[in-house]
Structure 1
Amino acid sequence: MNKKLIRILKISIPLFLGIFLVWYSLSSSTPEERQQLWQSILDANKFWIIVSFLLGTISHFSRAYRWKYMLEPMGYKSSQANRFMAVMAAYLANFGIPRSGEVLRAVTLTTYEDIPFEKGFGTIISERVADLLILMLIVGVALIFQTDDLLAYLQDQNIDPLNTFFIFLGLVGIIILGLNIVRRSKWLPFQKIRTLAKGLLEGMKSILKMEQKWAFIAHTAFIWTLYLLMFFVIQLSIPETSNTPIGIIMAAFVVGSFAVSATNGGIGVYPLAVGGVLMFFGVQEHAAEAFGWISWATQTAVVLLFGGLSFILLPLLNNRK
């Protein structure tokens, strides 16, 4: 199988899977159920949707601002505008190829701010580690609120958290073994990988060298607080979900977060995953699905608007570079 075909499959398979899930969800419902879903979306309180949109925009702006705390210890200055556009263009790229946005973010700063790719990419990896820790904290809080119900949902979906944990440990072990092989080998390609890895490591270590660690931590907490708020306010836009307990909403948020990270921006998967959690906990089907679709559409609108503008404005505003 040639490389071009592999690239095409990496893009098309997740995309077609998302489209298929949308089609399957709609085709398996009755006309009355589809009408109820559509009516719930139309009747949603637009004020809270706008609030969610604004919260999402602010969170991305804060993420771009936080990035400078990791670049400055390595001696690199960059403009907030370029960092913000790099972040938004990256999110938009993830709709095409999952996780490709991280590479694009680093490439953007290399192109317009002369920051070495491997060092910029290293800071992004460290940033993702910090975000993962916050997400795990939220998972822990969600488990405290809804332990029995959430475990019952995972069992209903044939998901074993213990197996997932062991798989994660296995992957970590494989990565460590691979790194040791690369470190000791004298093969030329592995030597080039070591050179790249040194730059990545320097970028990752920048999180330990920050003079403004507390500002970084504050921005991280602020970003995830906004993520939660932009999700929670959607609850207020639909009458049937407005009184849903916070533990159930947090459980839906966690499942939705993993759905986004595993697919092309959550296309097809996110609304179904979030709606499925809410339905499992007793929310009416049309309201649960409407919640998932409105939440996904609001987040996607932020990315489409600012990501699209970023692709256009980056070369225009940096035409001297």
Structure 2
Amino acid sequence: MNKKTIKILKIILPLLLGFIFIWYSLQSATPEERRELLDNIINANPLWLILSLIFGTLSHMSRAYRWQYMLEPMGYKPRFANSFMAVMAGYLANFGIPRSGEVLRAATLSSYEKIPFEKAFGTIISERIADIVVMLAIMGFTLILQTEHLLTYFKTNQINPLITITILFLLLLAGVGGIWLIKRSNLPFLVKIRNLAQGLIEGMRSIFRMKQKWAFLFHTLFIWLMYLLMFYVISFSVPEMAPPGTGMMLAAFVVGSLAISATNGGIGVYPVAIGAILVLFGISKQSGEAFGWLTWGTQTLLVLVLGALSFILLPVFNRKNN
């Protein structure tokens, strides 16, 4: 199997999996259940959806600000507009090719702000590590509060989050080990890789050299607070879920976060996963999936609109300023 085929499969298979989940969810429901699901979505209070969009926008803006703090120690001060549009363009790219957004994001800033790609990409890796730490903290806290419900859900759906965490940790160790070996090699090809790796490492080290560490920490926590709030407020638009319990919403948030990694942007899988975990809390499957569709739909719409506008406005904005 050649590289082109593998690349195509990486795009098609997650999308196919998402559509299979959508088909299975609708096919297994009775006409009454499908009608109830549709009614929940149509009758959702738009006020809560708009509020969720605001929280989502604030989280993306905060991510752009945080990125600037990491680039500053290396002597780069990109314009906020470019940072923000690079972030949104990257999110949009992830819908087509999973994990391609980080590469596009670094390439965009490299192109418009003359920042070396490897250094910009290195800061993104550091960002992701910080985000993983916060996500693991949320997962740990949620497991303590809702151990029984989450373990039941993972067992029913044959999901082992420890495997995912272990794989990520092993990949991180392999990456560090690979860089260590490349650093000591004199082969021409590996020397080129070493030069690239040095730029990546410098970008990653910026997190320790930044002057505004507390501002970085604030934005990291703020980003995740906005994620939680944009998820939480939509529950008020589904009558059966209001008022939502904190433990229930944290459990749904964790399951939804894990589901997003299964397909391109969580299409299909996200609403089904949310509905499945909420059933354990006494919420009907239709109301749970309606909440999942509303959450996924609002944030997907936000990324599609802001991402598309970013692709259009980036060259216009930079042509005017240059």
TM surpasses 0.5:
yes
Match of 1:212 in 2: 212
Question: How far apart, in 1, do the equivalents of 2:164 and 2:99 lie?
Answer: 20
- Contact persistence 1:123–1:203 (CA under 8 A): yes
Distance 1:45 1:85, change over 3 A: same
What are the superposed Cα offsets for residues 269-304 of structure 1, whole Å, 9 maximum, x if unpaired?
111111111112221111001000000001101101
Secondary structure at 1:76's aligned position in 2?
coil
What displacement does 1:17 show? 1.6
In structure 1, what is the Cα distance between the partners aligned to 2:66 and 2:287?
A: 36
On the 8 A contact 1:98/1:262 being kept in 2, the answer is: no
Of the structure 1 ranges 90-99 and 13-22, higher mean CA displacement relative to structure 2 is found in 13-22
Matched, 1:87 2:115: no
The residue that corresponds to 1:269 in the other structure is: 269
SS of 1:44's equivalent in the other structure is coil
Contact 2:14–2:262 (CA under 8 A) maintained in structure 1: no
TM-superposition CA deviations, 1:65-123 (whole Å, max 9, x none): 11110011100111111111000000000000111000001000111000000000000
- 2: CA distance between counterparts of 1:55 and 1:162? 30
Aligned to 1:313: 313
Query: Quick one: distance in 1 between partners of 2:314 and 2:171?
Result: 37
CA distance in 1, matches of 2:59, 2:177: 37
Q: Using the alignment, how far apart are the partners of 2:90 and 2:261 within structure 1? A: 13
1:108 aligns with 2:108: yes
Aligned to 2:46: 46
Q: Alignment partner of 2:308: what SS?
A: helix
Give the match for residue 178 of structure 2: 178
8 Å CA contact 2:236, 2:244 repeated in 1: no
The Cα shift of 1:224 comes to 0.7
Show the counterpart of 2:75: 75
- Number of residue equivalences: 321
For the aligned residues, what is the CA RMSD?
A: 1.6
What does 1:113-124 align with in structure 2 at a 5 Å threshold? 113-124=113-124
- Runs of 5+ unmatched residues, structure 1: none
* Distance apart, 1:202 and its partner CA: 0.2
More off after superposition, 21-30 vs 232-241? 21-30
Q: CA deviation at 1:215?
A: 0.6
Structure 1 residue 187: deviation in Å? Answer: 2.7
Shift of 1:163: 4.3
Show the counterpart of 1:21. 21
Q: Distance in 1 between matches of 2:161 and 2:264?
A: 23
CA positional deviation for 1:167? 4.0
User: CA separation in 1, counterparts of 2:145 and 2:115?
Assistant: 44
Q: Give per-residue Cα distances to partners, 1:127-147, cap 9 Å, x unaligned.
A: 111111111111112112112
Task: Letter of the 1:231 partner, please give it.
Answer: F
On the 8 A contact 2:119/2:200 being kept in 1, the answer is yes
Asked if the contact 1:76–1:115 (Cα under 8 Å) also holds between the matched residues in 2, the reply is yes
Partner of 1:33: 33
TM-score under structure 1 normalisation? 0.95
Q: Which amino acid aligns with 2:251?
A: A
Give the TM-score of the pair, scaled to structure 2.
0.95
Does residue 151 of structure 2 align to residue 155 of structure 1?
Answer: no
Q: Which runs of 5+ in 2 are unaligned?
A: none
1:159 deviates by 2.6
Letter of the 1:280 partner, please give it: L
CA contact 2:88–2:303 (8 Å) conserved in 1: yes
User: Identity across aligned pairs (percent)?
Assistant: 59
Q: Alpha-carbon deviation of 1:160?
A: 3.4
